[in-house]
């Protein structure tokens, strides 16, 4: 995913930059399209190759990366200059009436003029490709910073989840429920095998995220079998909606810890997804303890809740909403609102019917 995004960014930047640089020449140079278009295309191709080289240099020590990067820019600029001179020598006399009278061009019909044109083109392309390389390096640095922040947020979540689950297993052992504890350990092993291999920078289809949460709820139901049920509501057509991996995990954990574990009566946890225009709404709802004390402290103080807000901010900027709090009927609800994004290549006709499972 990261490599695909970098290639796309490099292409967009290259097309934008060289189109902007060429507009003035296209407008001022009569009949210049035939001589400028090949150079425009070759510049974009060379820019993409340069971006690939710069990406491979990222793993080198800083001084070596800078040195090889400068050489790569010079080599790219020289290659483009050679192409420019060749195009001018072969095409220029036929499409540029007036020859040397055209501003910015010295028709390379002699060796001296070819050298002059090469020097002019080399200087110009060195500046252009140097600016492009600087922009690519800046984009890569920003992406690396964001990647590091996202990975730190995800890895902060794993120990938190593991502690809660192991605490549940310990509770079963203390109760003398060895068989249920064994099943829970096996379920935990499968769950961790999946979650610990997820890339925190990759979004996942909603159906996969909900499947993981169903596995976790099955783990906890082993402990609270007599007073815990869960209801999953996934409308048809939303299975391929993209969400950050494990974004629902802290909400499910809180529902179990503060809803089920703190209550003496049966509690149902409802995990629901729905669509409103171009927005995806996810919610986790559970019953409150009889005295409502489990959520006494201000919302957002927990590690998991704070982690969700940080991840959403890093991923979506200001295009998200996150709210938690009591609602009517003695319930507590946590809701996430995100831009609706679907997996490419999937149509609604390929999606299975609505999922509405109660356990």
Q: Boundaries of CATH 3.30.565.10 in the chain?
A: 202-358
Q: What's the chain's average pLDDT? A: 78
Question: What fold, for 202-358?
Answer: Heat Shock Protein 90 (3.30.565)
Q: Mean pLDDT highest for which of 94-98, 244-248, 269-273, 310-314?
A: 269-273
Please give the C-alpha separations between residue 96 and each of 99, 102, 106, 109, 113, in angstroms, as whole numbers.
6, 8, 11, 13, 15
**Confidence (pLDDT) at 76:** 93
| 243 pLDDT more than 80 | yes
Is pLDDT at 175 greater than 60 in this prediction?
A: yes
pLDDT of residue 305: 80
Measured in residues, the chain has a length of 359
Instruction: Work out the average pLDDT over 344-352.
Output: 44
Q: Which helix (H) or strand (E) holds 229?
A: strand 228-234
Most confident range, picked from 10-14, 21-25, 30-34? 10-14
Average pLDDT over residues 310-336: 89
| Cα(174)–Cα(119) distance, integer angstroms | 82
What pLDDT was estimated at residue 19? 86
1 confidence band (pLDDT: 50, 70, 90)? very low
268 in Cβ contact with 229 (< 8 Å): yes
Question: Percentage of residues in the chain with pLDDT exceeding 90?
Answer: 23
Instruction: Look at residue 31 and tell me whether its pLDDT is greater than 60.
Output: no
3-state SS of 296-348 is CCCCCCCHHHHHHHHHHHHHHCCCCEEEEEEECCCEEEEEEEEECCECCCCCH
**pLDDT for 171 beyond 90:** no
Q: How far is CA 200 from the centre of its chain?
A: 9
Higher-scoring residue by pLDDT: 85, 195: 85
Confidence of residue 172 (pLDDT cuts 50, 70, 90): confident
pLDDT above 60 (res 306) = yes
d(CA 254, CA 176): 25
By mean pLDDT, which of 15-29, 116-130, 210-224 is the weakest? 15-29
* Secondary structure (3-state) at 123: helix
> Could you tell me the pLDDT band of residue 109, with boundaries at 50, 70 and 90?
low
Q: What is the pLDDT of residue 321?
A: 95
Task: Name which of 25-34, 294-303, 320-329 the model is least confident about.
Answer: 294-303
Global pTM value: 0.57
Burial letters for 331-346: b for 16+ Cβ neighbours within 10 Å, e otherwise?
ebbbbbbbeeebeeee
Report pLDDT digits (tens) over 179-191: 878 887 887 887 7
Q: Of residues 222 and 332, which shows the higher confidence score?
A: 332
d(CA 234, CA 211): 11
Q: What is the pLDDT of residue 11?
A: 87
* Better-predicted residue by pLDDT, 201 or 284: 284
Can you name the residues that pair with 281 across neighbouring β-strands? 274, 337
Average pLDDT over residues 127-156: 74
Q: Is 268:231 a contact under the CB 8 Å cutoff?
A: yes
| pLDDT given for residue 72 in this prediction | 92
Q: Which of 165-169, 291-295, 334-338 has the lowest mean pLDDT?
A: 291-295
Backbone angles phi, psi at 287, to 5 degrees: -70, 150
Strand-by-strand arrangement of the 228-234 sheet = 321-327, 331-339, 279-287, 267-276, 228-234, 355-358
Residue 29 banded pLDDT, cuts 50, 70, 90: low
Query: What is the reported pLDDT for 267?
Result: 92
Q: Is the pLDDT of residue 355 over 80?
A: no
- In angstroms, the CA 347 to CA 240 distance is 9
- Reduced to 3 states (helix: H, G, I; strand: E, B; else coil), residue 281 is strand
The closest of 263, 305, 309, 302 to 286, measured between CA atoms, is 263
| Higher per-residue pLDDT: 122 or 108 | 122
- Give pLDDT, residue 227: 86
Q: Give, for 269, the enclosing helix (H) or strand (E).
A: strand 267-276
**What's the confidence (pLDDT) of residue 54?**
87
């Amino acid at each position: 995913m990261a490599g695909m995004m970098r290639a796309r960014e490099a292409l967009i930047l290259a097309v934008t930059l060289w189109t902007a640089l060429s507009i003035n020449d296209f407008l001022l140079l009569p009949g210049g399209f035939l001589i400028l278009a090949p150079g425009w295309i070759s510049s974009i191709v060379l820019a993409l190759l340069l971006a690939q080289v710069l990406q491979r240099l990222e793993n080198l020590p800083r001084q070596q990366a800078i040195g090889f990067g400068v050489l790569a820019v010079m080599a790219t600029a020289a290659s483009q200059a050679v192409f420019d001179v060749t195009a001018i020598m072969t095409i220029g006399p036929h499409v540029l009436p007036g020859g040397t009278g055209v501003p910015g061009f010295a028709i390379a019909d002699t060796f001296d003029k070819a050298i002059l044109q090469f020097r002019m083109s080399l200087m110009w392309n060195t500046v252009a490709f140097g600016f492009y390389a600087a922009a690519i390096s800046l984009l890569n640095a920003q992406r690396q910073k964001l990647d590091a922040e996202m990975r730190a947020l995800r890895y902060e979540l794993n120990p938190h989840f593991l502690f809660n689950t192991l605490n549940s297993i310990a509770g079963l052992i203390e109760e003398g429920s060895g068989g249920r504890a064994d099943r829970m350990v096996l379920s935990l092993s499968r769950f961790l095998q999946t979650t610990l291999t997820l890339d925190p920078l990759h979004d996942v289809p909603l159906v996969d995220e909900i499947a993981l949460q169903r596995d976790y709820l099955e783990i906890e139901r082993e402990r609270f079998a007599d007073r815990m049920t869960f209801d999953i509501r996934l409308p048809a057509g939303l299975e391929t909606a993209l969400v950050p991996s494990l974004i629902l995990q802290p909400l499910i954990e809180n529902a179990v810890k503060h809803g089920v574990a703190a209550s003496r009566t049966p509690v149902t946890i409802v995990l629901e997804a729905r669509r409103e225009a171009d927005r995806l709404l996810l919610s986790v709802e559970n019953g409150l303890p009889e005295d409502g004390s489990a959520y006494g402290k201000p919302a957002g103080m927990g590690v998991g809740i704070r982690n969700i807000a940080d991840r959403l901010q890093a991923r979506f900027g200001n295009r998200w909403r996150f709210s938690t709090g009591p609602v009517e009927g003695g319930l507590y609800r946590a809701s996430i609102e995100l831009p609706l994004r679907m997996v490419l290549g999937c149509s609604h006709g390929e999606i299975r019917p609505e999922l509405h499972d109660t356990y």
